[in-house]
Amino acid sequence: MSENPNKLNLDQLLDLKRAEKPADDFWDGFQREFRQRQLQTLIEKESGWKQTVRMLFARSSLLVPFSGVVVALFVLALNFKQEDPLQKGYYEVVDLVQSNSQPSSVETSQEISQITPDVEEVRTNPVDLFPAAASFVMDSIHNEEPEPLNYTREFPTSTIPAEKRAVGALVSYTIARDNPSFGFSARPQTIGF
């Protein structure tokens, strides 16, 4: 109790602060608002990349094409970065095309251009002969589908430098033929020569 009846002490004043409370029905609204926000948090948690990954893995029909695209891009990236293992095969193909197109009796390029202008074009830039596309069918190994997926992938060649096109096509074809891995097998269909 205060010594002076006209004055309060600090404890008594702070008692007023302790008595500042919301009414009882305030807490119903508080709880309702909290549940709404909690639900919103749970929904947000499910969205975004997690949901995408979950969707991909839940549906094998989406996973296989997705994996195929990833692997194909990976193979192409490797092809551009590393020494091409099929370099030899590439030159063999080039030689084959050139020998088939070039008349054996022609001695000089001057004469070639006079006789067959098309052949001259082949000799100066032989890779332009190749539209360079390897297409193949991918079947899922583990998707338990009775029918093959028949997913056909043709590599676009417009972004590939001209001198790499034939090699890219060969690599794609060979990888598809020899590597039934990454959850799918690929049956080569065509190679664009």
Partner 1 sequence: MSFVKSITQPFTGSDQALSERDADWLVVQRVQAGDVAAFDELVIKYRERIYSVIYNLTSNKEDSFDLSQDAFIKAFQSIARFKGKSSFFTWLYRISVNTTLSFLKKNRHRRFLSYENISEETGTSDIIEVLAAKTGTEKPTLLKELQHKLNEALQTLSVKHRTVLVLFEIDNLSHQEIAEIMNCSVGTVRSRLHYAKKQLQSELQDLLD
- Interaction of residue 125 with partner 1, rule CB under 8 A: no
Q: Is 17 among the residues that bind partner 1 (CB under 8 A)?
A: yes
- Asked if 114 is part of the footprint of partner 1 (rule: CB under 8 A), the reply reads no
Q: Which is nearer to partner 1, 5 or 117 (CB)?
A: 5
Q: Which is nearer to partner 1, 23 or 158 (CB)?
A: 23
Q: How far is the C-alpha of 7 from the C-alpha of 13, rounded, in Å? A: 10
Least distance to partner 1 from the beta carbon of 24, Å?
Answer: 10
Q: Does 2 bind partner 1 (CB under 8 A)?
A: yes
CB of 26 to partner 1, least distance (A): 8
What is the rounded distance in angstroms from the CA atom of residue 187 to the CA atom of residue 135?
9
Rounded to 5°, the CA angle 45-49-52 comes to 105
For 115, the 3-state DSSP assignment is: helix
Cα–Cα distance measured from residue 187 to residue 185, given in angstroms and rounded to the nearest whole number: 7
Rounded distance between C-alpha atoms, residue 34 and residue 40, angstroms: 10
Query: Using CB under 8 A as the criterion, which residues of the chain lie in contact with partner 1 when the complex forms?
Result: 1-10, 12-23, 27, 30-31, 33-35, 37-38, 41-42
